[in-house]
């Protein structure tokens, strides 16, 4: 496939950004979106130009590092798919693809498509843990956990902290992220002793950095 890529380029949070347009060809439909960027960046390096900065780590849809806006949608056109797991078969030959960083005041641009998502870390630091005595590990079945609670907690823990919910929200609200991190501990017996203080501390920290939820749905 041959594609036109319009990419947001910005040297830092205090710099003025702009779109740059690049042409790439020989893109396989089986490539991931990040592999397409590898081709683009290799072309830029060979031409003596600076490559586009885009964050990635596991490339398995687990770490939440690689998020960006693709044609105006967080992570692109395929639902429940991280940017690194989006494949080029979702696009057509000759398409123009617009790629931007997360658009949220709480996620300042570090460079190009890389943003600072550390406010999410501040929420976790405020209460995303349980206090346990140190020592030898207890037996796995020592604390009974109801199946429904375990399943629901697992669903909440599946949040990878990518920040897409913040970027997709017109208010840059982080209620979805915070509620997932609160729930996956509050539902389990190990998280019960601190459930009230955890919820208050994490919500208060969230409100320091993010906007308020108005129940907007895409």
Q: What CATH number labels 3-114?
A: 3.10.20.30
pTM summary value: 0.90
Residue 218 pLDDT: 56
Residue 185: its H or E element: helix 175-186
**What does the alpha-carbon distance between residue 104 and residue 163 come to, in Å, rounded to a whole number?**
10
Residue 136 pLDDT: 77
Instruction: Divide the 218 residues of the chain into consecutive groups of 10 and give the mean pLDDT of each group.
Output: 97 93 96 96 97 93 93 94 96 97 94 96 94 76 89 94 94 95 93 94 96 80
**What does the alpha-carbon distance between residue 218 and residue 215 come to, in Å, rounded to a whole number?**
10
Residue 138 pLDDT: 74
Q: Give the residues across from 3 on adjacent strands.
A: 24
Residue 216 pLDDT: 77
Residue 132 pLDDT: 78
By CB atoms closer than 10 A (0-12, 13-18, 19+), residue 35 is middle
Q: Please list the residue range(s) of the chain that carry CATH number 3.10.20.30.
A: 3-114
Look-up: residue for tokens 């990635």?
56
CB 66 within 8 Å of CB 34: yes
Residue 166 pLDDT: 96
Residue 137 pLDDT: 74
The per-residue DSSP string of 58-105 comes to SSSS-S-----EETTEET-SSTT--GGG-BGGGS-TT-EEEEE----T
């Amino acid at each position: 496939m041959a594609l036109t890529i319009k990419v947001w380029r910005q040297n830092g949070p205090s710099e003025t950004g702009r779109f740059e347009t690049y042409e790439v060809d020989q893109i396989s439909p089986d490539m991931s979106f990040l592999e397409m960027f590898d081709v683009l960046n290799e072309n830029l390096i060979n031409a003596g130009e600076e490559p586009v900065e885009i964050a990635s780590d596991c490339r398995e849809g687990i770490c939440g590092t690689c998020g960006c806006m693709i044609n105006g949608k967080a992570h692109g056109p395929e639902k429940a798919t991280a940017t690194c797991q989006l494949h080029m078969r979702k696009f057509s030959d000759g398409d123009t693809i617009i790629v931007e960083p997360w658009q949220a005041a709480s996620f300042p641009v570090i460079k190009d498509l890389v943003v600072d998502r550390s406010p999410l870390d501040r929420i976790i630091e405020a209460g995303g843990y349980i206090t346990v005595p140190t020592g030898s590990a207890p037996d796995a079945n020592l604390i009974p956990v109801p199946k429904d609670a375990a399943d629901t907690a697992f669903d909440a823990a599946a949040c990878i902290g990518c920040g897409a919910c913040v970027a997709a929200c017109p208010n840059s609200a982080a209620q979805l992220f915070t509620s997932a991190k609160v729930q996956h501990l509050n539902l389990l017996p190990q998280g019960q002793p601190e459930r009230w203080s955890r919820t208050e501390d994490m919500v208060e920290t969230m409100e320091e950095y993010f906007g308020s939820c108005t129940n907007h749905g895409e």
